[in-house]
A = this chain, B = another copy of it.
């Protein structure tokens, strides 16, 4: 068995001192932060997105999610099942068949996830541009530093040569 979050940290969002929007940021081991980590997980997002279309079996999921190992897929599915976001139904046939599908709660999660995905799609060009600009700036700075260093070395050599 591979454990799986044995600690129950307790709430931290109802302390009453709500000075704006969030209180979940200060405390570590906040339950909201834990759930967020689970939900914002790389594979979880993909699984939920895929299952929103229709229920899928293990191998179908595995094929559709490029790059996932069966270990990670299994883990992800167990976690989502434990959190009540997906349901797992085993058909006692030979060979065995297992179907995964979103629970109602999982479906509501997908709605909010989709806004995140949509945001990403809409801004991917802007982000790519920002990265390119950042990298270009960093490169320019680095080259400037190298030129300066080279100039300093040359100067030092000249001084030494003139001094002898």
Contact = CB atoms under 8 A, between A and B. Distances in A.
Interface of A: 8, 11, 13, 20-22, 24-28, 31-33, 35-37, 39-42, 45-46, 49-50, 52-53, 64-67, 81-85, 105, 108-109, 112-121, 123-124, 126-131, 133-135
Contacts of A116: 36, 39-40, 112-113, 116
Assembly stoichiometry (copies): 2
Q: Name A's interface SS.
A: helix
Contacts of A126: 84, 105
A25 B40 contact: no
Contacts of A81: 134
A25 B11 CA distance: 33
A79 to B, nearest CB: 10
A117 B36 contact: yes
Contacts of A24: 117, 121
Contact of A28 (B8, B66, B83): B66
A113 B116 CA distance: 7
A20 B123 CA distance: 20
B53 A20 contact: yes
A109 B119 contact: yes
